[in-house]
Structure 1
Amino acid sequence: MKIKTPEINGFINDYVKDLRSGNASIFVGAGMSRGAGYVDWKGLLSDIAKSLNLDINKEYDLLSIAQYHVNANGRARINKKILEEFTEENEETENHRIIARLPFRTIWTTNYDNLIEDTCNKYNKIVDDKYAVKQLFQNKPKSDLILYKMHGDIDFPGDAIITKEDYEGYFSTHEAFITTLSGELISKTFLFIGFSFTDPNIDHVLSRLNFKYKKKDREHYCLLKKYSIHDFSGDQVELDYNLRKQQLFISELKRFGITTILIEDYTDITEILAEIEKRYNSHSVFISGSAVDYGEFTLLEAQSFIHLLSKEIIKKNLNVINGFGLGVGSAVINGALDAVYSENKKYSENQLVLKPFPQFPSGGKDLKQLWEEYRHNMISRAGIIVILFGNKENEDKIINATGVKIEFQIAIEKGLIPIPIFYTGYMAQEIFEEIANDYSKYNLTEELFNDISNLKLDKEDLNKSIREIISIIQKIAK
């Protein structure tokens, strides 16, 4: 699928803009969990339908199937079925990993499983789970995001929303959830993925909003797979019928202020999410480097150069990420904070992300393991890597820093755009020479490589040299 069509490109740009301003959220439906090996609604209720002598494939009102069973047999078997299907610890998908890395402050889901929170925990994020009304009135301290599980949690199957009666009473029993979601739909841009809009609960919320707020000031998006001939075993008549029905459905979503992005295959969701992450990260610059010697620079010149570079990155409304490398980190911090404090109403301390390396083994891991994890964590948050100097002392000799090379390799693996400032020498120069052999292998276009090759150091006017680097960064940042 070509994700850079005008429609998809415009959606991604608008959504990333809201994500950067903290005004974006995401609603995750059963399709996401199904991709990880869990059952969907039909799979969950298949055996229940058989016990009623019904064929699940012929039924569309699945709420009634669950309700018929409860009417006849009570709820115990459904509770057991939920536990059986969702307690197994399936591995998360790449979609879950991307969502966990993105800076959402809130995530909504109708899924019972723990895939979202478990994946966020792997990225050291503290999740405030809210699956019961009483939890809405208290917040977990120091949490990174709130996960609203509208239909309950696997650990409390008896409280899961699954029967017709559950849905009919939802407005009364879970009014606080509806109120909270209504507020978020007004104030944030939502992306719906893996979600069925036939859910009567969501349909009710959207209908209320549509009635109360006729003017649509907030646009939402959903990713929806377009029907293909393969979905109907080659039956063209059936395909044509369902395509007409799908278009009517898309028009209905538009009434609620939801724009549908049609995709050709479910794997396109991963591609779109990856592009969202890439564009979001393009505004974050990881500065890699270390130095005990500054080559052609004096100590003062080198510190001034690094200071100015970090300061100008912040002033372009971009973010600086740094691991506090020896001989480089202090100047990076000082430059960033200089920009922030000189205009604290325009720039924010949040634009500076520091990840100092641990100095002692912990958690059963040695320093090598910890440093590897820290590097991956830092670099995954950036879209650009700027490489400066890169040397260290070894037995009274100055050698190129292998740590900087490792950071470069991780960055390339993660799709970052490298900008080695070759005139700072050492590992930065070595990396530039490696890239020069075949720049296309290193996420660079010919234009960007030529711009990097033409960088010049002007010691009489360091600002001029910095402006050249900033110009390249701005070409990359979208």
Structure 2
Amino acid sequence: MSGSRKFSKEIRAFVQSYVEELINDNAAIFAGAGLSASLGYVNWKELLRGIAEGLNLDVDRETNLVALAQYHFNERRNRTELSRRIVAEFSDIRAPSKNHRILARLPISAYWTTNYDKLIETALRSAGKIVDVKYDVAQLKTTAPNRDVVLYKMHGDVDHPDDAVLTKDDYEGYFRKHEPFVTTLSGHLTSKTFLFLGFSFSDPNIDYVMSRVRVMLHNAPKQHYCIMRRERRNESEQEESFEYRKHQQSFLVKDLSRIGVHTLLVDEYEDITLILKAIEREYRQRTVFISGSADEFKKWGNADAHKFVASLSRSLIERHYSVVTGFGRGVGPSVIAGALEPILRERLRYRQSQLIARPFPIAIEGRREREKIYRAYRKQMVKMSGIAVFLFGNKQEDKRIDRADGVEKEFELAVEKGLRVVPVGATGYVAEELWTHVNENFETYYPDATEALKNLFSAIGPSADRSPEKLTEAIMKVIEQIRKDDR
């Protein structure tokens, strides 16, 4: 699977399903050691390699690593060396991977991990989120103010290595000493849709919890997902050994299905990044940024112009998009009015969170400071969105109508941040200039565009039908085709 090749139907269906869970705040992540391995953090086998050597054992021949840690403790009667290795391997703060950064940008409110490192919380804080980290039972009783995310580190944290879950004693006593973690995880496995990443499913705690949840739900567990690389033959590996590992994996996949985990097999670890990017793109493209301002509506008339803007905003909400607006003058009130109409009319079908308004502060003295704050506002709105629509684009200055440079700045920022841009040439002014520019350089803005998209884009140009309903429908077709082409 390469960056340009289309996903399989199975993966496309997963992306759509998981995005729906993101929208409804039902998505969760379970991160295993594999998510950190690409950055050089060791897995369990490597963590215990020196421990095994000290016992005159070969870690590569051991299948029960929990027992191996226990053997060490039995011989030494203390955890000093185990704790030292955890600190040595996981205490350095490394920059999160692409996968960590993508996940951190998604609206996921619950993360679970058996890892000791700090990659997840580092990525989340870099994304501007307030993280409530839980690695001790006592922490479950408190709530961090204004938290965006809860990170459950159910096996401990590198800063407290003596309390990390490592040995058979730790695992056997887990359900007594850490019962609130078990209860919370059981609840999340019942109510949320998990995506397991970098997880081998060899952890006895997780196996027990998931099996218990399956039994409680009368053998009808909630659907969860994991992404796993297909077994492939290593250099110099015997064919028999490779076939055996493939056989093992096939049984694991079937057993995971038994406990409600659907496995998505990929050819390369890099494919996981491509899938996460697809999730982020699909999620962001459910949110449309409407950029525009106008002090006059030449060729339109005020009534038709406001009717059109409200119609566009209303259609987006009714088709279950979210709308972001900066409340541009002459345009913003109609965006708000159009979006609110279905939201207030059918509160069980549409959500107030589908309308996100960020009015620009006007009482700011000093042009430089005002531009700085305005750019920050624009970045915030663009960051929420995956598609940007540009309307009109004029302003009155010194009793004359001039270009609205703010619309142009928002276009440039949207392009910089990777949004799909849809300037509506039929509305004239800056939007018409932008439409002409995109149309003349279409391959630059839509490198993999279909003929269908090119034709639909032409239908919102300067010569388009300006009736509010027809132009609205033409824009909606462009948006839908963009999403179809990007899948």
- Offset of residue 155 of structure 1: 2.3
Partner of 1:308: 311
**Aligned in 2, Cα 1:51/1:3: closer, same or farther, shift over 3 Å?**
farther
CA-to-aligned-CA distance 1:307-348 (integer Å, 9 cap, x gap): 232122112221001233344333322322233223333222
- Offset of residue 381 of structure 1: 2.6
Partner of 2:12: 9
- Offset of residue 278 of structure 1: 1.5
Partner of 2:82: 78
Q: Distance in 1 between matches of 2:53 and 2:421?
A: 58
Partner of 1:450: 455
- Offset of residue 418 of structure 1: 2.1
CA-to-aligned-CA distance 1:104-127 (integer Å, 9 cap, x gap): 121111112222222222222222
For 2:384, what is the secondary structure of its paired residue?
A: coil
Pairwise mapping of residues 260-271 of structure 1 onto structure 2 (< 5 A)?
260-271=263-274
Report the AA paired with residue 154 of structure 1: V
Partner of 1:142: 146
Q: Distance in 2 between matches of 1:151 and 1:124?
A: 26
- Offset of residue 284 of structure 1: 1.1
- Of 100, 105, 124 in structure 2, the residue corresponding to residue 96 of structure 1 is 100
Report the AA paired with residue 294 of structure 2: A
Alpha-carbon contact 1:289-1:389 (below 8 Å) kept: yes
For 1:441, what is the secondary structure of its paired residue?
A: helix
- Offset of residue 243 of structure 1: 0.7
1:179 aligns with 2:183: yes
**Aligned in 2, Cα 1:99/1:216: closer, same or farther, shift over 3 Å?**
same
**Aligned in 2, Cα 1:78/1:177: closer, same or farther, shift over 3 Å?**
same
Of 126-135 and 405-414, the range deviating more from structure 2: 405-414
Partner of 2:118: 114
Of 412-421 and 168-177, the range deviating more from structure 2: 412-421
**Aligned in 2, Cα 1:293/1:71: closer, same or farther, shift over 3 Å?**
farther
Question: Aligned-pair RMSD on alpha carbons?
Answer: 2.7
Report the AA paired with residue 286 of structure 1: F
Of 249-258 and 397-406, the range deviating more from structure 2: 397-406
Q: Distance in 2 between matches of 1:237 and 1:405?
A: 62
Q: Distance in 2 between matches of 1:117 and 1:129?
A: 8
- Of 158, 163, 171 in structure 1, the residue corresponding to residue 162 of structure 2 is 158
- Offset of residue 391 of structure 1: 3.7
Pairwise mapping of residues 424-463 of structure 1 onto structure 2 (< 5 A)?
424-443=427-446, 444-455=449-460, 461-463=467-469
Alpha-carbon contact 2:214-2:221 (below 8 Å) kept: no
Alpha-carbon contact 2:213-2:221 (below 8 Å) kept: no
1:241 aligns with 2:232: no
CA-to-aligned-CA distance 1:187-236 (integer Å, 9 cap, x gap): 2221111112001111111222233334325221111111112x354432
Report the AA paired with residue 436 of structure 2: E
- Offset of residue 351 of structure 1: 0.3
CA-to-aligned-CA distance 1:140-197 (integer Å, 9 cap, x gap): 2322222211111222222211222111111111111112111221222211111120
Alpha-carbon contact 2:226-2:263 (below 8 Å) kept: yes
Alignment TM-score, normalising by the size of structure 1: 0.90
Alpha-carbon contact 2:29-2:112 (below 8 Å) kept: yes
Alpha-carbon contact 1:226-1:264 (below 8 Å) kept: yes
**Aligned in 2, Cα 1:51/1:343: closer, same or farther, shift over 3 Å?**
same
Partner of 1:353: 356
Alpha-carbon contact 2:395-2:402 (below 8 Å) kept: yes
Report the AA paired with residue 218 of structure 1: K
CA-to-aligned-CA distance 1:430-462 (integer Å, 9 cap, x gap): 221122123232134321221121136556x42
Partner of 1:127: 131
For 1:380, what is the secondary structure of its paired residue?
A: helix
Q: Distance in 1 between matches of 2:388 and 2:115?
A: 37
1:464 aligns with 2:470: yes
Unaligned 5+ runs, structure 2: none
Report the AA paired with residue 203 of structure 1: D
Alpha-carbon contact 2:90-2:158 (below 8 Å) kept: yes
Unaligned 5+ runs, structure 1: none
- Of 213, 233, 251 in structure 1, the residue corresponding to residue 217 of structure 2 is 213
For 1:243, what is the secondary structure of its paired residue?
A: helix
Partner of 1:259: 262
1:342 aligns with 2:345: yes
**Aligned in 2, Cα 1:240/1:376: closer, same or farther, shift over 3 Å?**
farther
CA-to-aligned-CA distance 1:68-117 (integer Å, 9 cap, x gap): 23333311232232222222121111111111111112111111222222
